[in-house]
Amino acid sequence: YNGKCFLSFQTRRKTTTFSFVKQHLMKDTVSRFIGILIMMSGFFAACDRTSEQEARAGGEEIWFEETLHDYGEIPNGSDGKWSFVFKNLGEEAIVINRVRSTCGCTIPAWSKEPVAPGDKGKITVEYNTAQTGTFVKSIYVYSTAANSPVKLQIKGKVFDPE
């Protein structure tokens, strides 16, 4: 028995144990931090939605009933169409000049006719569901409204039904 050697082994073991604990605590802390960030972003996204009255009070001229559509889980090859309905809150007609998607897999369509004050219009987007996996796509609506452009989003997960 060598007391010095035993002490050295214990010290080394404590250091190793400490490093192991420290490493796992760091991983746990980072995971919690990321989880909190994800939850907060969802909270703020939900708070971003405004009612028609709030939009009107804020000076918005074009107001969408929803700016984010969640398809949820949809099977590969299914219909990926969705229509975003908007209302002209301004005092003059609004013309949608351009609608741009961030990806070629999302095709927008809209009426080129002016939308009179108080009337509604729609932007229809079609997501190509040929590819499986999770997606989040943005669509930008450019118009003659004061609050142009408006960002719309679609998200979901395409799965293979087989």
Give residue 1's pLDDT.
45
SS (H, E, C) 10-55: HHHHHHHHHHHHHHHHHHHHHHHHHHHHHHHHHHHHHHHCCCHHHH
Q: pLDDT means per 10 residues in the chain (162 residues)?
A: 46 50 58 54 47 76 94 93 95 95 94 94 95 95 94 95 80
Instruction: Tell me the residue type at 152.
Output: L
Cα 84 to Cα 68: distance, rounded to the nearest angstrom: 9
Q: What is the reported pLDDT for 54?
A: 85
Instruction: Give residue 47's pLDDT.
Output: 43
Residue 151 CA to residue 154 CA, distance in Å, equals: 10
What is the pLDDT at residue 27?
Answer: 60
Q: What is the pTM of this model?
A: 0.67
Give the per-residue pLDDT at 121: 96
For residue 58, the model assigns a pLDDT of 73
